[in-house]
């Protein structure tokens, strides 16, 4: 019996180590596109759902207004920085926030603007949100 428990402990430890050191992966579950917006739902290798969306507004001011409205919903603003283009000109803002969604669940989001575009990546865990942003936005 002791030998069996030792093997089981090693198997569990090996599995956990494999999950911890393996890179997170994302699989597309759904995609929706409209004339001025798009959204997608992903499942991560950590069994979490992640949502990504982008909206093009009629003006820079409208995109900035949406950004500000989303910041007002935040319980905590974890990070807030300006966004720059490759030439060093400011083109928008970026914020990492913690908030409570409509169904009273904890959520994390990366919000950003770039000109007339507003982007959002959100999930119930911060790490997948940041990894998704890093992988797909070149951060």
Task: Return the domain boundaries, the chain.
Answer: 25-137
Show the 3-state SS of 66-104. Answer: HHHHHHHCEEEEEEEEEEECCCCCEEEEEEEEEEECCCC
Distance from C-alpha of 76 to C-alpha of 106, rounded to nearest angstrom: 11
| Reported pTM | 0.80
Give me the CATH topology for the region 25-137: Protein Transport Mog1p; Chain A (3.40.1000)
Distance from C-alpha of 99 to C-alpha of 8, rounded to nearest angstrom: 39
pLDDT tens digit string along 67-122? 999 999 999 999 999 999 889 999 999 999 999 988 889 999 999 999 999 999 99
- Nearest by Cα to 109 from 69, 81, 66, 71: 71
């Amino acid at each position: 019996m002791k030998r069996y428990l030792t093997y089981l402990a090693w198997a569990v430890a090996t599995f956990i180590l494999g999950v911890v050191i393996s890179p997170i992966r994302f699989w597309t579950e759904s995609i929706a596109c409209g004339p001025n917006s798009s959204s997608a739902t992903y499942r991560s290798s950590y069994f979490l759902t992640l949502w990504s969306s982008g909206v093009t507004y009629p003006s820079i001011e409208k995109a900035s207004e949406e950004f500000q409205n989303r910041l007002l919903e935040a319980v905590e603003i974890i990070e807030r920085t300006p966004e720059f283009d490759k030439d060093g000109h400011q083109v928008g803002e970026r914020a990492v926030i913690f908030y409570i969604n409509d169904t009273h669940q904890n959520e994390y989001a990366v919000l950003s603007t770039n000109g007339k575009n507003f982007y959002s990546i959100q999930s119930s865990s911060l790490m997948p949100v940041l990894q998704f942003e890093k992988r797909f936005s070149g951060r």
